[in-house]
């Protein structure tokens, strides 16, 4: 499969967009949870 067909499939296949959205939202949630925990850990002994 060449690159143009891959790009075409990405933009036109039903459901691919939904999967991308879910990935983006899940990734963002994980990053935000990690950042919140990192802030709260500040100043507690034995933890960086």
Partner 1 sequence: MHPENKNEAIILKPIHRPTTGDRLLWFALGGILLLGLSAWVRQYVLGLGVTGLNRPVYWGVYITNFVFFIGLAHSGTFISAILRIAGQGWRKPLTRAAEAITLFSLPFGVASILADMGRPERVFNIIFFGRYQSPILWDFTAVGLYFLSSIVFFYLSLLPDIALCRDRLTNVPRWQRRMYEILALGWQGHPEQFHRLEKVLDGMAIFMTMLVVTVHTVVSWMFGMTLQPGWHTALIGPFFLLGAILSGTAAVVIALAILRKVYKLEQVLHIGLFNSIRKLLITFTLGWIYMMIAEHLTIGYGNMKEEMVVLQDKFSGTYAAIFWSMALLVFGVPVLILIFKAKNNIAWMVTASILINVGMWLERYIVIIPSEVSPRLLPVMGQGIYLPTATEWLITAAWFSGLFLLYMTFTRFFPIIPVWETAEHLPEFEPEGLREAQAVQTGD
Shortest approach of partner 1 to residue 2 CB, angstroms? 19
Rounded least distance, CB 3 to partner 1, Å: 16
The contacts of residue 10 (CB under 8 Å, 6+ apart) are: 16
Q: CA–CA separation, 9 vs 33, rounded Å?
A: 33
Q: Which is nearer to partner 1, 5 or 42 (CB)?
A: 42
The footprint of partner 1 (CB under 8 A) covers 10-18, 20-22, 24-25, 28-29, 32, 35-36, 38-40, 42-44
Element (DSSP H or E) covering residue 10:
helix 3-12
């Amino acid at each position: 499969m060449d690159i143009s067909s891959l790009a075409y499939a990405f933009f036109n296949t039903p459901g691919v967009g939904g999967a991308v959205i879910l990935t983006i939202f899940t990734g963002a949630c994980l990053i935000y949870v990690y950042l919140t925990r990192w802030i709260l850990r500040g100043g507690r002994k034995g933890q960086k």
